[in-house]
Amino acid sequence: MAPSRNRRPGFSRRAQYGLFLGYVIAVAGAIVAVVLLVFATLNPPAFAPLRAAVAEVTTPISSGFAGLGRGIASIPTGIGNHFTVMQKNAALRKELEANRALLLRARTLSYDNHRLKTLLHLRERVADPVVAARLVSSSGSSTRRYAVLNAGSWQGVRIGQPVRGPEGLVGRILETGPNTARVLLITDPESIVPVRRTRDGLPALAAGRGDGMIDVRSVSVSNVAFEPGDVFVTSGTGGIYSPNVPVARIVRRSRDTALARSFAQPDTLDFALVQQGFMPIQQPTPPATTTAPAP
């Protein structure tokens, strides 16, 4: 059935007045908009104060509606963040409980270690420092890895003494002069350092490659798995390097032999510390000669 062509609102005067008022407001708004457009085009400086006044009136209203919209839009995000924070809190509580167990175990082991040392009357050896000096140069392009220290025999530096930096082991003294010394870096192919893995005490050897990296290989167990991030420190075996000095960290998963990066980088190292050997070899003293009494 076709719609009626009579669009009159009926015999209600209220409806007729409302429709008429709507038309009047629409026409008046269009006229005002045209007047303002013409005024802004013909005289922009005079229109600027009116525009600023309108902006002052409408800005709080628009800001309120914008804040209300942001608040409504942030409700789903807030709910999601709430559940995410709850999950993270649960994970952190679980990690805290695990770390508390590890801490208690470490305290127990430390107490037992101290008690056994006291029982056996063991004495810890400490590598005394000799001198702190500056590394003035290092070989970066050659296959051999050396560094020059601006301290020598006049400062107490001797061949074989270990050299370390703030981050870890640097190498050992190879040659000495009056005021300079040559350091064999741990990345040199001739350098071999006895080390152990921190997480399980696995003994290994750290050998230089000549390219700035280190090969770590196991010495006691075959088919050993090395994981990225495994940290190796000196073991004290051999009597040159004191134990627990950081040496290298594994960078690639491997078995038996793994690639590692040294903690101390001589290219960026300013100062280094020369220490006494952990267990220096004592030179035998010649027997005292006795003279026969005169007859």
Q: What is the residue-level pLDDT of the chain in tens, covering all 295 positions?
A: 455 555 554 556 777 777 777 888 888 878 877 776 776 677 667 666 766 666 666 667 767 777 777 777 777 777 878 778 888 888 888 888 878 877 877 877 777 777 776 666 655 555 678 888 888 877 655 667 888 888 888 989 999 899 988 888 999 999 888 888 889 999 999 999 999 998 888 899 999 988 889 999 988 777 888 999 899 999 888 888 888 899 999 998 988 889 999 998 877 777 888 988 877 655 555 555 555 555 5
Residue 251 near residue 140, CB atoms below 8 Å: no
Helices (H), the chain: 13-42, 44-120
The pLDDT score that the predictor gives to residue 278 is 79
Class level of CATH domain 129-275: mainly beta
The model's pLDDT over 107-149, given as tens digits with 9 standing for 90+, comes to 777 777 777 766 666 555 556 788 888 888 776 556 678 888 8
Which residue ranges make up each domain of the chain?
15-120, 129-275
The pLDDT score that the predictor gives to residue 123 is 55
Measured CA to CA in angstroms, residue 230 lies from 82, 116, 260, 269, 280 at distances of 36, 29, 9, 23, 30
The pLDDT score that the predictor gives to residue 99 is 83
Number of Cβ within a 10 Å radius of residue 192: 14
Whole-angstrom distance, CA of residue 237 vs CA of residue 158: 20
Whole-angstrom distance, CA of residue 145 vs CA of residue 127: 25
**Among 61, 84, 65, 82, residue whose Cα is nearest residue 73:** 65
Q: Is the pTM of this model over 0.85?
A: no
The pLDDT score that the predictor gives to residue 280 is 62
The pLDDT score that the predictor gives to residue 163 is 92
